[in-house]
Amino acid sequence: MQKKRVRIKISGRFYVLLMLLVITVFVFQFVKAQIKLKQQNETLAELDRQIEETQEYNDNLNARIADAGSLDSVERTARERLGWVREDEILYVETPQG
């Protein structure tokens, strides 16, 4: 016995529907990628802002470290935190009235 070949006739509508399906999948993937790209750009902007803030904080700390060794800085700290006064100075302390 011989096998009979069955030919399936594919209409033009099938090709149109297939192309619409392929285009829909591509559009969906494109939109999904755009959304993810936007989220990553927002994250990147936030990280850049944090880097800038941290750099400013580090610069401030480096300036304080550089200033910490100066005699003026040591004297100012001793006066403010320890109540240090020179021998020829008089310290006046105000007390609250009440």
Residue boundaries of the structural domains of the chain: 12-82
Please give the Cα distance from 78 to 85 (Å, whole number): 8
Please state the pTM of the whole predicted model. 0.54
State the alpha helices, DSSP H only, in the chain. 12-68, 71-82
Task: Retrieve residue 76's tokens.
Answer: 């100012």
- At 81 the pLDDT is 87
Task: Decide: 81 and 75 in contact? Cβ < 8 Å.
Answer: no
Task: For the chain, give the mean pLDDT.
Answer: 89
- Determine the pLDDT at residue 68: 80
Contact 83, 91 (CB under 8 A): yes
Q: What angle do CA 13, 15, 17 make, to 5 degrees?
A: 70
pLDDT category, 98, cuts 50, 70, 90?
Answer: low
Phi and psi, residue 5, nearest 5°: -85, 130
Assess whether pLDDT exceeds 90 at residue 64.
Answer: no
Q: What pLDDT does residue 1 have?
A: 61
